[in-house]
Amino acid sequence: MKTYIFYTSEGFTQDNNLIDTENCQILDWQKGKDEKEAFENFKKENPHISFRNIKCQELANEKVYYFNYK
């Protein structure tokens, strides 16, 4: 099984100073034999999501790196 990340650039967010900033929002991670199966799993587990433009990208691995930004 491969792992996919689902995200959108719809919507907006604000920084700590309440200034609008452009960004992407991560919606979910799903597994599947391919992106179509992973998207079906995404839809089953997230029936409430109303975004229309959802992007999907296969992850090379599941390693997570943590950084502190000073």
Strand 2-8 to strand 20-21: parallel, antiparallel, or no bridges (unpaired)?
unpaired
pLDDT digits (tens, 9 = 90+) for 23-62: 899 999 999 999 999 999 999 999 999 999 999 999 999 8
Helical H segments across 1-70, by residue range:
35-45
Q: What per-residue confidence (pLDDT) applies to 27?
A: 96
What's the pTM value of the predicted model, to 2 decimals? 0.82
Find residue 4's DSSP bridge partners: 30, 58
**Which tokens go with 26?**
């991560």
